[in-house]
Structure 1
Amino acid sequence: MYGPAMATLSDTGGARPRTKTAAARPRRTQAERRAESERRMLSAAADLIAQQGFGATTLEQIGTRAGYSRGLVNQRYGSKENMVKALVGQMHANFYRQAFPDSLSAPKGLPAICEVVDIYMQTFYRAGSAMRAYYVLMAESLGVIQEIRDTFVAATGSFRTRFEEQLRHAKRAGEVSRDLHVPSAATLILSLLTGVCFLWMISPESMDLRTLRRTAIKAVEHALKPPS
């Protein structure tokens, strides 16, 4: 006359009943637990920095938001600056996987450049606090936190290099003007993306980022294509 729970309790000698879900769930490895804790801490850091900036954010706040102690955050990263470098590095790695695939079937030349413009602005629109934190940190690296300026110098330099590679491919394919100065064009494309995103953060209600995305793609195509 036992019910299901009572039968389980009796059969296990008084042990607490285990659900099928709990019994079937494998124990996570140390590497998996570490990856999860890092993901939660970096996500917490992005949320806080997006809300209140780098200066007002503390390791203790990050630990509390992530569900860990300040000591664990400090042990993992050593300083707030190191944590920010890890956060920016993660953002770049995630974006690069989307925007610059290594697949042989991936677009090349001008189509690739337009696709990156599209992906960049879509990512900014959808990423929420993560991308806002990125731009807050970029702005603060000019003054308050010069320690991470080198991180953004490297990041923007890497973006320019990728654009330059595709522009040279486009030049060889005859998709852009022969006299195009590749480094300048790459810098202007990156400046367009950065400027639009900064302005949208300052006054999001004054512009439609979806419409701007389409306009930006057309502007890049028009500026780069050779005269007909």
Structure 2
Amino acid sequence: MEPTRRTQAERRAETERRVLEATMAIIATDGVRAVTMAAVGDAAGYSRGIVNHQFGTREGLMTAVAKLAQSQFAPVAPGLRGRERIVSDVAAYLAALRSGARDASVFLRLWIAAIGGEEPGLRDLFVERDASFRRYFAVKIAEGIEDGTIRPEVDADAAGFAIVGQLRGVSLQLQLAPDAVDVDALAAEVHGWLDRALAP
């Protein structure tokens, strides 16, 4: 039986996957500055020319990696609403930090590089990502106010900003000191604080 020949689109998708994976591995172990087209090509098993062909420029590559890193967390409880939904999403985010430590590291290193000007081409991408994350929580808080599971005087925008700030802060601390806290105990504390803060 002859092996099935892959289409050009399938080969291109496989090349892209390997290049992005190699880039994320370099960022996780050596930092953002270690990413060069040659280093990525070598790590992925390709030439620098293949990486250039796939992504055009280093900025194009870094943008693709940032989008991939940003997509790693998605809410996992679509049937929930209001306070229950928010608390569940925060718990899922904290669980993802534990199970996807490398992806979290890549995201945060890129986020810091965008903030610090090391990767200026990523700044707008991360500004929009954080704004979208805050809007997401603000909408869920507004839903909770409407359905009575969140106290009506909560400012949805301010609370969304605070929740994202807490999650980013926890993420950064875990990158610097991964063994400083029991993540399950941390998640339980955050759950309790958030539930009490939003409860009517």
Q: TM-score, normalised by structure 2?
A: 0.93
Aligned pairs for 1:34-183 (under 5 A) are 34-96=12-74, 99=75, 106-143=79-116, 144-183=118-157
For 2:98 and 2:18, locate their aligned partners in 1 and report how far apart those are by CA, in whole Å: 21
For 1:93 and 1:148, locate their aligned partners in 2 and report how far apart those are by CA, in whole Å: 15
Q: Give CA-to-partner distance per residue, 1:101-134, whole Å, 9 cap, x none.
A: 7x5xx21211111121111111121113222011
CA contact (8 A) 1:43 1:130 kept: no
Q: Which amino acid aligns with 2:19?
A: M
User: Which residue of 177, 181, 191 corresponds with 1:217?
Assistant: 191
Q: CA RMSD in A?
A: 1.6
CA shift for structure 1 position 90: 2.0
Identity of aligned residues (%): 30
Larger mean CA deviation between 178-187 and 201-210 belongs to 201-210
For 2:58 and 2:94, locate their aligned partners in 1 and report how far apart those are by CA, in whole Å: 28
CA shift for structure 1 position 53: 1.4
Q: Is 2:169 the partner of 1:195?
A: yes
For 2:93 and 2:59, locate their aligned partners in 1 and report how far apart those are by CA, in whole Å: 25
Change beyond 3 A, Cα 1:223–1:72: same
Q: Which amino acid aligns with 1:213?
A: A
Q: TM-score, normalised by structure 1?
A: 0.82
CA shift for structure 1 position 24: 5.7
CA contact (8 A) 2:69 2:106 kept: no
CA shift for structure 1 position 100: 6.0
For 1:115 and 1:34, locate their aligned partners in 2 and report how far apart those are by CA, in whole Å: 37
CA shift for structure 1 position 135: 0.3
For 1:213 and 1:25, locate their aligned partners in 2 and report how far apart those are by CA, in whole Å: 48
For 1:179 and 1:223, locate their aligned partners in 2 and report how far apart those are by CA, in whole Å: 11
Unaligned runs of 5+ in 2: none
CA contact (8 A) 1:141 1:147 kept: yes
Q: Which amino acid aligns with 2:187?
A: R
Q: Number of aligned residue pairs: give it.
A: 199
**What secondary structure does 2:9 align onto?**
helix
Residue equivalent to 1:4: none
Residue equivalent to 1:14: none
Q: Is 2:183 the partner of 1:205?
A: no
Unaligned runs of 5+ in 1: 1-22
CA contact (8 A) 2:108 2:172 kept: yes
For 1:80 and 1:100, locate their aligned partners in 2 and report how far apart those are by CA, in whole Å: 33
Q: Which amino acid aligns with 1:41?
A: V
